[in-house]
Amino acid sequence: MRTITLVTTGGTLEKVYDETTGTLVNRHSNVAHILQGLRLEDTRINIHELMNKDSLDMTDVERALIVETVRLQSEAPTIDGVIVLHGTDTLSNTGECLVEGIKDPKCPIVLTGAMRPYELKQSDALQNLTESIFAVSVLDPGVYVVVHGRALKFPGVTKDRTKGTFVKL
Helix (H, G, I), strand (E, B) or coil at 93: helix
Helix (H, G, I), strand (E, B) or coil at 159: strand
Query: Which backbone phi and psi does 132 adopt, to 5 degrees?
Result: -70, -40
Q: Buried b / exposed e across 129-148, counting CB within 10 Å, b at 16+? A: bbbbbebbeebeebbbbbbe
β-pairing, 165-168 with 157-160? antiparallel
d(C-alpha 140, C-alpha 135), whole Å: 9
Q: Domain extents for the chain?
A: 2-168
pLDDT per residue of the chain (169 residues) written in tens, 0 to 9: 999 999 999 876 666 666 677 766 666 667 787 898 899 999 999 999 999 898 999 999 999 999 999 999 999 999 999 999 999 999 999 999 999 999 999 999 999 998 876 656 678 888 999 999 999 999 999 999 999 999 999 999 999 999 999 999 9
**Under 8 Å between Cβ of 16 and 30:** yes
Question: Which pLDDT tens digit goes with each residue over 59-74?
Answer: 999 999 999 999 999 9
Which residues have CB under 8 Å from 14's CB, separation 6+? 8, 26, 28, 29, 30, 31, 52, 85, 117, 118
What are residue 145's DSSP bridge partners? 111, 152
d(C-alpha 100, C-alpha 168), whole Å: 17
Question: Which pLDDT tens digit goes with each residue over 45-61?
Answer: 999 999 989 899 999 99
d(C-alpha 168, C-alpha 76), whole Å: 29
Q: What is the pLDDT of residue 66?
A: 98
**Under 8 Å between Cβ of 71 and 101:** yes
Domain 2-168: CATH architecture, name and number where available: 3-Layer(aba) Sandwich (3.40)
